[in-house]
Amino acid sequence: MPSTALPRRPRWRSLALLAIALASLLWPLQQLAERYYRDALDRQSGQTLDLYVANLLGTLRRYEVLPPILSQLPALRQLLQQRDDGGLRDQANRLLGGLQQQTGADVIYLMAPDGQTLAASNWDQADSFVTRNFSYRPYFLEAMQGRAGRFFGLGTTSRKRGYFFAAPVREGLRIIGVLVVKVDLDHSETLWGSRPEQLLVTDSHGVVILTSHPDWRFHATRKLDKAERATIADTQPYLIQSPPPLRLDDQAWLRQARDLEDIGWTASILVPRSLLDRPVRSAVAIGGAALLVLILLLGLLMQRRRHYLERIALDARARQLLEQRVQERTQDLERLNSRLKQEVLEREQAQQELVRAQDEVVQAGKLSALGTMSASISHELNQPLAAIRSYADNAGVLLDHQRAEDARDNLRLISQLTERMASIIAHLRAFARRDRHAPESVALQPAIDDALALLAKRRQAQQVELIRDLPDATLWVQAGETRLRQVLGNLLANALDALAEMPPPRRLWLSAERSGDGIELQLRDNGPGFSAEALQRAREPFFTTKTSAQGLGLGLAICDTLMRALGGELLLANHPAGGALLTLRLRAAEHGVNIQPPEDFAP
């Protein structure tokens, strides 16, 4: 097939020159974006700083008027005049404590003219100001001169930052003491929260007193001269007399400041440069992406014509390939058609063989079902037949001893057992027909007594001690009269079989109790218990741990099937103290009321 010539590729050199020309527009775009986002960031941070400053000043001004007002209280004046009176001191302490709780101040205290604290709101605390002398504090000195005292400092006792407002207590023209209100400033830092911006509040010395960055606290933002260092040493506003310098990278922060002229402080907000650089880089990236998209569109337009011509050439080649593949597919279909005919013949033969195999499986199932039914009938009738044989032998002995009445009782029991055998046969026949009867109301204790009576002679021969824990009141359950006795007889017989392998003492426990809306009957023995395999496979037909002469392995399988048909449950387990533990869970019924007429065992 002749090759199709492709058109010449577009000149990518022209696109490269165009890209360089458009990329030069990114620098003015960066400048515009930086100016725009910086103005927006300045407005936002300025508003945040104004809100914080307003909150801080509002807090301070709220407490500023308290010292002049509280200095007029008579109780405080009496203590200043009689400072050795313990009763007046106690009264003043309690008064200041109540005022502190009402106003929310950190501490309120009263000082004598010599600077000693006479009473304080924290008089009953470990860091009490009482008896402490603060005459070196500037607020005390200013108040003693008749002016309102103000001072920021770190408490020498509490080690907490606070702002102190002081007012003189006057007696006429004479100053007899000073009342001080301390405002806690630690709380003002918590209002900032976890924000990328950082807050700085510096005092008149340029030392950081409030900040959202704990490592910057009590650092100097400028160099201190000797006079400022001497003032700090005299007034002790911080823990250290020579605050270390605060080293900040000016290139990493955008700063705004507000002067608090009333108190001589400066509040500043530091915004990370990254908050500005990030949107600027995003804007530049978007602009660069837009330019790249433009260049790509131009390239795509240049490629469009070339692709169009290539498509025409490819279509011609595709038509030739299609014709060739049609010929090949026609030949494949012919071969496939021949192979399908052969497979149809083989499948018809396999279908005939399958029908014959199914007939053989059905016949085998019938034989298996017949064997299972005969084994079930044999297993269920062995116990009543053994009891009939025992009662018949006893009746002969009783007649020899001329005990006709006792012999008549045995014959009556034999009659009842024959009726039970007929009932079992009818029930097995109904079970084979999948004939499910609705349960009736059955008394549990009499059914247990009947099952025990059938096995009494065997239990006594094995010297098995029976321990009953049954309530005196009759328990009524939803079950079939015959099916319940059948289940109880099988379980008790299995327990005696297990105990036969054990040396004396042999014990059998029977207990029953109410559980929610049902009845739980527990049967326990001190035999060998279940093995791990037996717990998993005990409900399987023909599984047994006995010899073929001892059992067929149908007892537990039949009991489990009957319990599920009655809407109950059979649980198998091992008791922690040893032996097997079987639990029958039955639904409770109304006392003596038949839910439905008893099972019809007519042939």
pLDDT of residue 355: 64
Q: Which two tokens stand for residue 35?
A: 């100016």
pLDDT of residue 379: 60
pLDDT digits (tens, 9 = 90+) for 308-356: 888 888 888 888 889 888 888 888 888 888 888 888 888 888 888 866 7
pLDDT digits (tens, 9 = 90+) for 212-259: 777 787 787 788 888 778 777 777 777 777 788 878 777 778 888 888
> At 12, is the pLDDT very low, low, confident or very high (cuts 50, 70, 90)?
low
Side-chain half-sphere exposure of 600, counting CA atoms within 13 A: 7
pLDDT of residue 118: 92
pLDDT digits (tens, 9 = 90+) for 99-148: 989 988 889 999 999 999 999 998 988 888 898 898 888 889 989 998 98
Alpha-carbon gap, residue 360 to 354, rounded angstroms: 10
C-alpha 512 chain-centroid distance:
39
Alpha-carbon gap, residue 372 to 355, rounded angstroms: 26
Higher pLDDT, 378 or 89: 89
Starting from the edge strand earliest in sequence, which strands make up the sheet with 580-587, in order? 464-469, 506-515, 518-525, 580-587, 569-574
Comparing 41-45, 355-359, 514-518, the range with the smallest average pLDDT is: 355-359
Query: Is 232:220 a contact under the CB 8 Å cutoff?
Result: no
CA distances from 483 to 285, 420, 427, 497 (A): 84, 10, 8, 21
Q: Say if residue 372's pLDDT is above 50.
A: no
Alpha-carbon gap, residue 481 to 177, rounded angstroms: 103
Alpha-carbon gap, residue 39 to 284, rounded angstroms: 17
> At 377, is the pLDDT very low, low, confident or very high (cuts 50, 70, 90)?
low
pLDDT of residue 543: 61
Residues 337-370 as b or e (16 or more Cβ within 10 Å = b): eeeeeeeeeeeeeeeeeeeeeeeeeeeeeeeeee
The conformation of residue 217, written as its DSSP 8-state character, comes to T
- pTM for the model stands at 0.43
Structural domains of the chain, ranges and CATH numbers in brackets: 65-184 (3.30.450.20), 436-587 (3.30.565.10)
Please state the φ and ψ torsions of residue 105, each to the nearest 5 degrees.
-65, 160
Residue 571, helix vs strand vs coil: strand
Query: Is 526:507 a contact under the CB 8 Å cutoff?
Result: yes
Q: What average pLDDT does the segment 490-511 reach?
A: 87
Q: Say if residue 159's pLDDT is above 70.
A: yes
If one counts every other C-beta atom within 10 angstroms of the C-beta of residue 209, the result is 20
Q: Which two tokens stand for residue 393?
A: 């032998």
Report the candidate in 64, 207, 52, 77 with the shortest Cα–Cα distance to residue 149.
64
Alpha-carbon gap, residue 177 to 146, rounded angstroms: 10
Please state the φ and ψ torsions of residue 582, each to the nearest 5 degrees.
-110, 135
